[in-house]
Amino acid sequence: MLTTNHTFLLKEKAKELGFTYCKVSRADFLHKEALQLERWLAKDYHGEMNYMESHFDKRLDPRLLVDGAKSVISLAFNYYSTEQQEDKNAPKISMYAFGRDYHKVVKQKLRLLFNFLQEEIGDINGRYFVDSAPVMEKSWAEKSGIGWIGKHTNLISKEQGSYFFLAELIVDIPFIYDEPIKDYCGTCTKCIDACPTDAITEPYVVDGSKCISYFTIELKNAIPKNVNGKFENWMFGCDICQLVCPWNKFSVPHNESSFLPKKELLSLKKQDWENLKEEEFEEIFEGSAVKRAGFKGLKRNIKFVKKSDQTLPE
């Protein structure tokens, strides 16, 4: 009875804080994912993301992150926006980076949720994460039934598509555990067909080192010449596989003020981006995830997509 009550309180509070989904899995070792991760790393699909090789065991067993862990609470926070950059020819930024850095926004909500649980339940130990630790967040979200991992390897919800940030609370108390749902991708291959760099090597497998998001965010060296002309104007991140996904017709706009884009971001024209100064960058992207690329990184990307644009056939 207590477990049922705790589960109800958890989900009601998560909803109050703005989370679209809150579901729970039993903390255990991820057997299937262990083999998949091993194969993925062996093929060097992580490129220069060396951190993916670190803490292999911790990625697969939440009990190594939290002593006595019994539950992985998976949460999803909607970031879908109908706002768009006004100049269709301007270099493009992934929708998730329109507003304030999601790490900070969602982590603050997680902190409030964890504090609430401690107040209501009492003796509870745990940790919370937003894409900032060795946690297989998509796997746990899938296990909990928030959605399924699609062929593009993003998590898809049957009700609202895939524009979500994922977060986790790993705690040492039990809850009522949720069940996974089936895969609804069917025979669709739209994401595979649309990827301009062929990063989706086969259904449910992405070569991270070929992804536009990797090139524009993770890669610190020069962008390889063999992808020249393939970025479709993306200068930070890429939304192509989500834009073509039929399930995203069910996406609904978020209502989180922190994720609203600055007007300057949407109004900059192609030439403005090409002439962007560091002071402008600092002002427009204050508190933004785009800071991860840095001014020099973003300028490199803008220069690359401009060069690609110039070399495309008429």
Instruction: Compute the Cα dihedral for 284, 286, 288, 292 and give only its sign.
Output: positive
Backbone angles phi, psi at 173, to 5 degrees: -130, 155
Distance, CA of 66 to CA of 312 (rounded, Å): 52
Half-sphere exposure of 83 (CA within 13 A, CB side): 22
pTM: 0.94
Mean pLDDT, the chain, rounded, equals 95
**pLDDT of res. 123:** 87
User: Is pLDDT of 27 > 70?
Assistant: yes
**pLDDT of res. 309:** 61
Six token digits for residue 132:
């900032």
Q: What is the mean pLDDT of residues 44-55?
A: 91
Q: What is the mean pLDDT of residues 285-296?
A: 94
Q: Give the number of other CB atoms < 10 A from CB of residue 210.
A: 21
Residue 157: pLDDT band with limits 50, 70, 90 = very high
High-pLDDT (> 70) share of the chain, %: 97
**DSSP conformational letter for 221:** S
**Contacts of 278 by beta carbon, 8 Å cutoff, 6+ apart:** 295
Q: What is the mean pLDDT of residues 263-278?
A: 95
User: Is pLDDT of 173 > 80?
Assistant: yes
User: Is pLDDT of 308 > 70?
Assistant: no
pLDDT, tens digit, for every residue of 182-224?
999 999 999 999 999 999 999 999 999 999 999 999 999 999 9
Q: Which of 28, 131, 172, 183 is the catalytic position?
A: 131
Q: What are the boundaries of each domain within the chain?
A: 2-83+96-171, 190-249+257-307
Single out the residue of 300, 289, 230, 249 nearest to residue 265, CA to CA: 289
* Residue 183 bears catalytic tag: no
